[in-house]
Structure 1
Amino acid sequence: MKILLFLVLYITTVLSNTATWNIRPSDHNETVEEKIERGYQILKDEAHAADTKAFLLKLHDVEQGRETELDQQHANLPDDMKRYLNINFDEVKQMGDTIVAVNEKSHVEMALYQGDIMLTKEQGEQIINDIEQNDKNRLKRQAYHPMTFPMRLWSDGVSYTFHNASGGARKVFRRAVEIWQNVTCINFTENSTAVDKIIVVNSSGCWSELGKLGGDQVLSLGNGSKIPRRWISFEDDWKSQLIKESNITNYNYGLTYDYGSVMHYGARTASKNYRFTMIPQNDVEYVLTLGSDILAFYDMMMMNLHYGCLDRCGGVSSSKCANGGIPHPRNCSKCLCPSGYAGDLCTERPSTGCGATLIANFTEQTLTVTMGDRMSRILKDEFDLCHYWLQGPKNSRIRVVIDGYWGITAGGCKYGGVEIKTGEDKRYTGYRICSNDFAGVILTSTHNTVPVIVFNRYHSNTVTLRYQIGST
């Protein structure tokens, strides 16, 4: 599991908001090889930059014959997207970027695997072999199989220290560490003298190495900058980066593919003109959920499985957790709960922030929630949350109609939105919505309780929806 990247993903927006500088736009007449070389020249002093460069050049050669698949997917995008094709994203220019955007603007994204990973020679060779031997697999970045990359776990805990990192960077990194400690059995210790440790630096771009390599490992947290967005459709250079690994290397412990994973690419990743380059195949309403900054329950669950944290509790189903909860790895008598649920056994509505339990009947009722301050330009480190339950009688279903959304529209709903959980799997991330293009969408639940989570970290947002008992 790329625990280092999980940490980078959590803090990128805050860190990249601390400073900007002017960098010339990328030369889109450059070849892929030239862009890899340009990024390598920036990163060449890093321990595994040369190994990663060699891997990327080989990967580009391997994928030359497979670009037709991605081209066809992009050609079909307008039909698949339909009503969502023309969603307009708001650009909050003075604020932070995604990791991919930061690395693009730092001119290092083409010298990193999947835009943010530094690989050893061994890791690169394993992935190439896997790709050459397997065609049917998936695109999401997940855990790397412990049988494929042995000794990559931080089994004795993670030691870290800082080098040239700002006070703000240190604060938010420590907060990310605290979050992971609270939901896993992994211990983090700030220790500059440890033999094996992460060194957090302010360098070129945002990236990390894969797993535990031993000795000093760099986790780079760079700043973003502005770049013109006038190019059209899919970045050809990224086609070999969005490859599909098999379960030999890309392992998910049998867990559900979650569009809300913090490790999932955004819908416009590698886009030349910020049109969509990837969409949920089976449920297009998840398009704005992609690229989320919010830790998904399946992210937490996978990390716990990867590190064997639940073994001490007797496994995933050893406790009496309700609503998809799992034993808490630091207190087996209590549960770690999916979003929208709380309490020792996940039987309660979260009490933090605003919210209420609203009883649905056969007459439509309206819920309108406003959060934040439209006059404020302060980006909060964490989201403010309001938790509602729309609840009907046992065995009933709830029908929810989105009437409107007002606020900032961004990939992954990074600044605010609403999450509506109507699916059968209560662990699964709900639909995250932050665009008025979703007005008129009708969602019908599988269960008699629908958690509705309104969240905000910048400016203001308002959601209005109607709900009632639906047909069974």
Structure 2
Amino acid sequence: MEIFVNLPLESCNCPYGYGGDDCSQRAEPGEDLEASIEWKHAPANKTIEIKVDGFSGVQCGFGCMNGGFEVKILEDPRMTILNFGSHNKHSHGSRAKRQVIIRGEDQDQYKWPNNTVHYYFDEENFDFSMKETILQAMKMLSSHTCIKFSTEPSDVIIRMESDSDRNYCFSEIGHVRENQQFSFTSSCYSVGLAVHEIIHSLGFMHAHQRADRDEYLHFVMDLDGMSLQDRQQYAIWEHQILLVPYDYGSVMQYADADDNYFPINKNRFMYQTMGSEVVAFYDYLMINKYYECSCGDDALKCQNFGYPNPSNCSQCNCPYGFGGDDCSQRAEPGTTLQATKGWKNTTISLDAGFKDVNHLRMRQIDYIYSYLWITAPENKTTEIRVLQSESGKCFRGCGRGAIEIKTNEDPRLTSPRFCCNESKTVRSSHTPTVVMAYNSEGLNEYTIAYRYVDTYQ
């Protein structure tokens, strides 16, 4: 990872709490109670236990932006693991996300008991569409996992709130405390963004904070310009479990080339894919593995890398493009096409219409989909050209709509997506080759050409 900073040659940049030119001293001021940094000592081979009895004069708010304190408990003092009152923030337009975070050896500390998330809506600033978006996100997650959502009272409950003064959404990580916060605004207006925040509430961090992220991403960050809160959005957390492979198309992955800090993918074909609002196959599987959702040994046998759906064990969770109870059929709606030696053209049209709510939101809260299966003779390679994209929705993460041609050996992983009007040619050794298109706003039309060629041509 490269980190670009401007450092004066005569002094060091020290972790918070350390000072002096070489970071060997306590940072100052050390006695001022308004901004106090104190060192506590203990005999060798002893553990310091710190009890927080309470404090006053500080407002409990998002990120402790109005004040707070921090206890360094990691072997690496540069990392923050415990911030009293800390949350996870997601700013709309900054997305291009275990990744399960654990504390010490307790892997279950932040799980919701009985796989049930308790919540209620603070109705004061919620409009119908924002509430509908969150409820649809809950329905999507509960229909693919064993997670349930309940409005029954509980000791730990999520307060769903909306603040019109904010342009970002955020949630606390995992099962934390009574009235834990989940803030949703009109700027996060899509089911995918709501799912992103709910997955945080289930105990997961971003995909770009995984321990293996440097195998897939290159980062350029200006540490001098980053707040502590922003650093927490990109830091690799020390205690984590990787339950599924890294996926550029995870709904938990920020966009390529963020406005302020730069996670740049190492696969140049994936730059439009990062920042997806489509919930990936592995996003669901990650949740199911962590919460130990299963259907038992006598469950339905699934094909094409699907697995029994713990929400409905008579059906499978299938990779995009595959359907039927056991993933053996093409997903609907869709069409099956036969490739030939000569080029053939076809156009995929998806009309999502427009949804005008208070003249602010012009897109549907969720996507409509269409699927193609393109078949070819055995031992032939399918070649597909994206000739034209008539959508006018060239956004990072292709949040309004895109076309995806499944070329990965693992069909569960997200393949490159295209939402800008540029010609692309890809090859696939699979038969059928799955082509997926999705849209949430207006009319999208994608014209592709396809044929088969000799595998080594």
Is this contact kept in 2: 1:370–1:461, CA < 8 A? Answer: yes
Q: Is 1:313 aligned to 2:296, yes or no?
A: yes
CA drift at 1:292: 0.6
Indicate which of 323, 328, 350 corresponds to 2:309.
328
CA drift at 1:373: 6.9
Greater relative CO (CA pairs within 8 A, separation 6+): 1
Is this contact kept in 1: 2:98–2:242, CA < 8 A? Answer: no
CA drift at 1:278: 2.8
User: Aligned partners of 2:59 and 2:368: how far apart in 1?
Assistant: 41
CA drift at 1:372: 2.4
Name the structure 2 match of 1:158.
117
User: Aligned partners of 2:366 and 2:330: how far apart in 1?
Assistant: 20
TM-score normalized by structure 1?
Answer: 0.65
Name the structure 1 match of 2:442.
459
Q: Is 1:269 aligned to 2:258, yes or no?
A: yes
Q: 1:451 to 1:293 in 2, by over 3 A?
A: same
User: Aligned partners of 1:250 and 1:394: how far apart in 2?
Assistant: 43
Query: Residue 345 of structure 1 aligns to which amino acid in structure 2?
Result: D
What secondary structure does 1:62 align onto?
Answer: coil
Q: Is 1:213 aligned to 2:194, yes or no?
A: no
Name the structure 1 match of 2:384.
400
User: Aligned partners of 1:333 and 1:362: how far apart in 2?
Assistant: 40
Count of residue pairs the alignment pairs up? 343
User: Aligned partners of 1:374 and 1:351: how far apart in 2?
Assistant: 20
Matches of residues 61-460 of structure 1 in structure 2 within 5 Å? 62=78, 115-116=89-90, 142-145=99-102, 147-148=105-106, 150-156=108-114, 157-163=116-122, 164=124, 165-191=126-152, 193-203=153-163, 204=166, 205-224=168-187, 236-237=225-226, 240-241=231-232, 243-245=234-236, 249-253=239-243, 255-271=244-260, 277-281=262-266, 283-310=267-294, 312-314=295-297, 319-352=300-333, 355-372=334-351, 378-407=362-391, 408-437=393-422, 439=423, 441-460=424-443
Consecutive unaligned residues of structure 1, counting only runs of 5 or more, are: 1-32, 38-42, 64-110, 118-138, 226-232
RMSD: 3.5
Is this contact kept in 2: 1:266–1:411, CA < 8 A? Answer: yes
User: Aligned partners of 1:48 and 1:369: how far apart in 2?
Assistant: 45
Is this contact kept in 2: 1:334–1:345, CA < 8 A? Answer: yes
Query: Residue 305 of structure 1 aligns to which amino acid in structure 2?
Result: K
User: Aligned partners of 2:375 and 2:67: how far apart in 1?
Assistant: 52
Query: Residue 176 of structure 1 aligns to which amino acid in structure 2?
Result: A
User: Aligned partners of 1:151 and 1:55: how far apart in 2?
Assistant: 20
% identical aligned pairs: 26
Is this contact kept in 2: 1:359–1:391, CA < 8 A? Answer: yes
CA drift at 1:113: 6.2
Q: 1:242 to 1:393 in 2, by over 3 A?
A: same
CA drift at 1:49: 2.6
Query: Residue 396 of structure 2 aligns to which amino acid in structure 1?
Result: G
Is this contact kept in 2: 1:423–1:446, CA < 8 A? Answer: no
TM-score normalized by structure 2?
Answer: 0.67
Name the structure 1 match of 2:46.
none
CA drift at 1:53: 6.0
Query: Residue 292 of structure 1 aligns to which amino acid in structure 2?
Result: S
Is this contact kept in 1: 2:352–2:364, CA < 8 A? Answer: no
Deviations for 1:332-363, whole angstroms, at most 9, x for unmatched residues? 342110111111110111123xx310011222
What secondary structure does 1:465 align onto?
Answer: strand
User: Aligned partners of 1:413 and 1:57: how far apart in 2?
Assistant: 39
CA drift at 1:144: 1.9
Is this contact kept in 2: 1:185–1:330, CA < 8 A? Answer: yes
- Relative to its length, the structure with more helix (as a share) is 1
Q: Which has the larger radius of gyration?
A: 2
User: Aligned partners of 2:66 and 2:239: how far apart in 1?
Assistant: 18
User: Aligned partners of 1:344 and 1:52: how far apart in 2?
Assistant: 53
User: Aligned partners of 2:351 and 2:338: how far apart in 1?
Assistant: 26
- Relative to its length, the structure with more strand (as a share) is 2
Q: 1:321 to 1:371 in 2, by over 3 A?
A: same
Consecutive unaligned residues of structure 2, counting only runs of 5 or more, are: 1-15, 17-34, 36-57, 80-84, 189-219, 357-361
CA drift at 1:451: 1.0
What secondary structure does 1:152 align onto?
Answer: coil
Q: 1:145 to 1:362 in 2, by over 3 A?
A: farther
Is this contact kept in 2: 1:142–1:263, CA < 8 A? Answer: no
Query: Residue 62 of structure 1 aligns to which amino acid in structure 2?
Result: R
CA drift at 1:370: 2.7
User: Aligned partners of 1:309 and 1:180: how far apart in 2?
Assistant: 13
CA drift at 1:419: 1.2
Query: Residue 278 of structure 2 aligns to which amino acid in structure 1?
Result: I
Query: Residue 265 of structure 1 aligns to which amino acid in structure 2?
Result: Y
CA drift at 1:448: 1.4
User: Aligned partners of 1:47 and 1:245: how far apart in 2?
Assistant: 21
User: Aligned partners of 2:234 and 2:130: how far apart in 1?
Assistant: 32
